[in-house]
Amino acid sequence: MTIHERPFGRCLEDFVVGDVYRHWPGKTITEADDHLFCMITMNHHPLHTNDWFAQQSVQGRNVVVGNLVYSLVLGMSVPDVSGSAIANLEVETLQHKHPTFHGDTIHAETRVLDVKPSTSKPDRGVVTVETKGFNQAGKEVCYFRRRVMVWQRDHAPTRSRPYDQDDAWDS
């Protein structure tokens, strides 16, 4: 029997400039998602939470708050990019290219732009990536570029489970 552990994040050596990660699964943003995020973050702008107000706007309907879209797309990238990161160092740019509406389904992809070993700490390096979020029609709704500090493989701490059940399937 072979036990397969799902990787969560990558080490510096795993990143190759030009590689693209298609993050899965996507997520449909509901009205409830948007309202809860607005309330948690104290963003009470009626464009996000008031149908009547939004109908009078340029878009003619509620727009999902941009930080929710960014957070969702960032979260989708974590297993492939920063799941084992030491630190998220910088978001260089963040752009909302098109509005996102209640009921839109968001998918994301990340491309590796640069991979550099650290000059001051030989156990790590910095990866620069750009991530794009798309709606169900393929329109780019969110773009950001960020730098992430990650371990070199030989120095990455091992991850353990809170239990040790290697014999769970022996019966």
In a domain, 1, yes or no: no
pLDDT at 112 over 80: yes
> Could you read off the pLDDT of 18-58 as tens digits, one per residue?
999 999 999 999 999 999 999 999 999 999 999 999 999 99
124-145 mean pLDDT? 99
Residue at 3 is within a domain: no
CA 148 to the chain's CA centroid: 12
Please give the C-alpha separations between residue 103 and each of 29, 99, 106, in angstroms, as whole numbers: 5, 12, 10
In our burial notation (b when 16+ CB lie closer than 10 A, e otherwise), range 142-155 reads: bbbbbbbbbbbeee
In a domain, 166, yes or no: no
Please compute the mean of the pLDDT values over residues 63-84 and round it to a whole number. 97
Whether 89 and 148 have beta carbons less than 8 Å apart is answered as yes
Residue 168, domain member (yes or no) = no
Domain count, the chain: 1
pLDDT value of residue 169: 67
**Has residue 4 been placed in a domain?**
no
Query: Domain range holding 63?
Result: 12-155
Whether the CA torsion 18, 22, 99, 65 is positive or negative: it is negative
What CATH number should be reported for the domain holding residue 93? 3.10.129.10
Strand partners, 88: 148
Task: Tell me if 59 is assigned to some domain.
Answer: yes
